[in-house]
Amino acid sequence: MEHYANRVSRCREQMKRDGYDALILTKPANMYYLTGDGRLCAYAMVTREGTVAMGVPQTDIEDVKQNARADFVTGFDDEVGLIHSVAHFFKQFEIKQGAVGLEKAFLPEPRLGMFTHPHAKPEEVEARDCTPLMSELRLVKEDREIELMKRAAEVAAIGMKAAVAMVRPGVSENDVTAAADYAMRQAGATDFYRSYVSSGPRTNIAHGLPTLRKIEQNDLVMIDLHPVVNGYSSDLCRTVCAGVPTPDQREAYNIYVRALEDTIAMVKAGVGMMDLEQNMHGIFKEAGHGEHIFGPPIHGIGIEFEEAPLPAGHAFFHGEKAPPPLPKNAVIAVGNCGLYTGPWGVREEDTVAIGQEGPVVLTDFPRQLTLDE
């Protein structure tokens, strides 16, 4: 449990720097990072002294005590009980003024209102958004976290293998997803941040959640997997053809792979998110695909399948700050954008840790546009 103590210690330093007296976290990924437990309908309060107190459903107390690194665990029966438990902790820790951090980029107004309710938060304590603080804290991964993401990447590859093996005319997008998810659960994934499988004209859409559409002869099929294994995720996308691709498709695929691999090769400590984005987009533009780009090509990944660092414009509307030059042991997914030509799209995506001198690619699955390659 030592790494949780280290994380809380680093959290304290950032809280001190930013003038926080306490944080109250409800976002499962943030709770998980500091305590090892990120369940629904619960919260973790962290004080400037490094005390961690959790409020959880009354039913869950023993389970939380077994799974979480927390100094105090209290239970509540309902929302009003939750509010009172928050007030109790403010009193216990003698926090009467100053600032409390809440995740305003996560909690919609009514749920945020439970924590800012006059029966929960002392009036003199200002509520501020601690989203960027927590993202900064989680930005640089410990070696053990990268190992866990490597394992998640292996599970994603198992899912991709099962998915690709299902691709043929007459099989639905949903059938392909069923095969991928089943294989990943068998391999230890306990959750998925969405499994995207799209085919034919649907490969052109930005978020290709699976439908009952049946794959047709020569369709492109885009498969994008994000298993959660031991609390950590990875991001792996591949495009395959159920038959023979057109020359245009083959050309676009080759350009995509070249841009992706060229961009991954640029990854090392100190590189900027925008440098990577401009390189990838630049190759697309040079190849005449400037009008076919959608979406930022890079995002962070870790406990969540999409997390900070996010590119600057995107970050703002997710309550995040623009990212710094990428430090060693940050982890990103490269290839989040696609080439969307109108009737079809191509996309591949890999998970990459920032090494001191170069990329450490965590995902490992063959690139094979046609199934007999």
Query: Which residues lie near a second copy (CB under 8 A)?
Result: 39-41, 57-60, 62-63, 77-80, 104-114, 129, 174-175, 177-178, 181-182, 185-186, 188-191, 201-202, 204-207, 209-212, 294-296, 313-314, 316-319, 338, 340, 342, 345
**How far is residue 341's CA from residue 8's CA, in Å, rounded to a whole number?**
47
Q: Does a cis peptide bond (omega within 30 degrees of 0) precede residue 309?
A: yes
CB of 296 to a second copy, least distance (A): 8
What the block records as the tokens of 236 is: 């792996």
Among residues 247 and 313, whose Cβ is nearest to a second copy? 313
CB of 112 to a second copy, least distance (A): 8
Strand order in the sheet with 98-102: 72-76, 52-57, 43-47, 22-25, 98-102, 125-129
Among residues 175 and 350, whose Cβ is nearest to a second copy? 175
Among residues 224 and 267, whose Cβ is nearest to a second copy? 224
Angle at 194 between CA 192 and CA 199, to 5 degrees: 130
Among residues 191 and 262, whose Cβ is nearest to a second copy? 191
**How far is residue 245's CA from residue 266's CA, in Å, rounded to a whole number?**
30
Among residues 190 and 370, whose Cβ is nearest to a second copy? 190
Among residues 48 and 138, whose Cβ is nearest to a second copy? 138
Strands (DSSP E) along 147-285, which ranges? 191-192, 196-199, 220-225, 227-229, 232-233, 236-241
Parallel/antiparallel/unpaired status of strands 338-340 and 293-294: antiparallel
Strands (DSSP E) along 256-303, which ranges? 293-294, 298-300
Among residues 58 and 368, whose Cβ is nearest to a second copy? 58
**How far is residue 265's CA from residue 209's CA, in Å, rounded to a whole number?**
30
Among residues 182 and 366, whose Cβ is nearest to a second copy? 182
CB of 71 to a second copy, least distance (A): 21
Per DSSP, the three-state class of 284 is helix
CB of 40 to a second copy, least distance (A): 5
CB of 355 to a second copy, least distance (A): 30
The set of residues, in sequence order, having a beta carbon less than 8 Å from that of 184 and lying 6+ positions away, is 155, 156, 158, 159, 162, 192, 225, 227
**How far is residue 14's CA from residue 243's CA, in Å, rounded to a whole number?**
54
CB of 294 to a second copy, least distance (A): 5
CB of 207 to a second copy, least distance (A): 5
Residue linked to tokens 């909690």: 107
Q: Which of 262, 243, 239 is nearest to 252 (CA)?
A: 239
CB of 211 to a second copy, least distance (A): 6
What the block records as the tokens of 51 is: 């005390």
